[in-house]
Amino acid sequence: MGGGRWDAGKWEDYASSYVDGRSREEIFAARGMQDGYDPRLIIKRESCDGPDNPASTPVIIGVDVTGSMGSLAEELIVRGLETTFKELLARKPVSDPHLIAMAIGDAECDRAPLQVTQFEADIRIAQQLTELWLEGGGGGNRGESYSLAHAFAGLKTVHDAFTRRATKGFLFTVGDEPNLDGVKRDQLKRVMGVDAQGDLSARDCVELASRSYEVFHIIVDGSYAARDLRGVRKTWDPILPQRVIHLTDPSKLSETIVSTIELVAGRDRAAVVGSWDRSTALVVADAVRDVGVARGRLGGLRRLFG
């Protein structure tokens, strides 16, 4: 997937018909997970080169949709997709972006702990995003299953940037809670339809994704992180050293993602931060201040999957 190109006019038409002035419940009207976004039924998600995008670059944005974090999906559809595509195409830190959206929940208690759109380069990603089910679940288990996004990226995506050009894509998970420590063998089977020889730790899942993606996590100041940011970071910093971003203003999510991609592309940090308006620059500067952006080595976990 991934034909077409982002068109600001088509976005404006779509937004005026389906987004502008509507509540979160009206925008995200699904009351259950659609088969097309069920990771158990997905064989592969593919980001492929084509006439419209001859050197495609996959970008995965996985957002926590439990409880109040449904606001992250709303932020993406109200302004985030437009900003992300517009700025990536204008700034060109990578070529021909293909975006995929993931809705992340809790594998221990949710009915739909992971949902995954197609890779898209045009307005179809917005249409698919609004079809995701904001289950709003989660539990009192002090964390969410962000590792599902890492495992899916490593096991069920393929992209030409990696297979043709040995170039990594980008994976951003976003939320305010601690990361539950990995994915159990039975959860891999139940949620993703994947047979494994054992459980995957959170580190294992990151290693799987890191084979073909530059992996980052963005902690937003939701209710959990606001109470215990140190506790949240304790579950992330050891598995993603210098790849954990603390974002104090979720409305600057897209700008933070674009800035991080620019930094990985080798651009000067001060210049990247200074390219935004003053209020945005202040937030972005704080978010990316300590982020390490040296490209990771190509490799990956082979212990459980050969």
| CATH code at position 205 | 3.40.50
The answer to whether 138 touches 19, Cβ cutoff 8 Å, is no
Q: Containing domain of residue 238, as a range?
A: 8-69+94-243
Least confident of 12-21, 84-93, 119-128, 220-229: 220-229
Residue 145 lies in a domain: yes
304 within some domain: no
In a domain, 106, yes or no: yes
In this prediction, residue 138 carries a pLDDT of 80
18-26 long-range contacts, CB within 8 A, separation 24+: 18/130, 19/77, 19/78, 19/130, 24/70, 24/71, 24/73, 24/74, 24/134
Once rounded to an integer, what is the mean pLDDT over residues 245-263? 97
Residue 306, pLDDT > 50, answer no
Residue 70 has pLDDT above 60, yes or no: yes
CA–CA dist 140, 71 (Å, integer): 20
The CA angle 161-261-264, to the nearest 5 degrees, is 85
Let me know if residue 168 belongs to a domain.
Answer: yes
Per-residue pLDDT, averaged over 76-93, amounts to 96
d(CA 121, CA 46): 12
Question: What pLDDT sits at residue 67?
Answer: 86
pLDDT at position 209 over 90: yes
- With cut-offs at 50, 70 and 90, classify the pLDDT of residue 43: very high
- pLDDT digits over 135-179, tens only? 988 877 789 999 999 999 999 999 999 999 999 999 999 999 999
Domains contained in the chain, number: 1
Burial class, 131, CB count within 10 angstroms (exposed 0-12 / middle 13-18 / buried 19+): middle
Question: Taking a C-beta distance cutoff of 8 angstroms, is the pair 240, 216 a contact?
Answer: yes
For residue 304, the model assigns a pLDDT of 53
Do the domain assignments include residue 123?
yes
The residue type found at 157 is T
pLDDT at 297: 54
Q: Is the pLDDT of residue 95 over 50?
A: yes
Percent of the chain with pLDDT over 70: 96
In this structure, what token pair is assigned to residue 89?
Answer: 């195409």
Res 294: pLDDT: 73
Mean pLDDT over the full length of the chain: 94
User: How many other C-beta atoms lie within 10 A of the C-beta of residue 280?
Assistant: 18
pLDDT > 90: percent of the chain: 88
Does the residue 151 lie in any domain?
yes
Assess if residue 265 is contained within a domain: no
**Is the pLDDT assigned to residue 302 strictly greater than 80?**
no
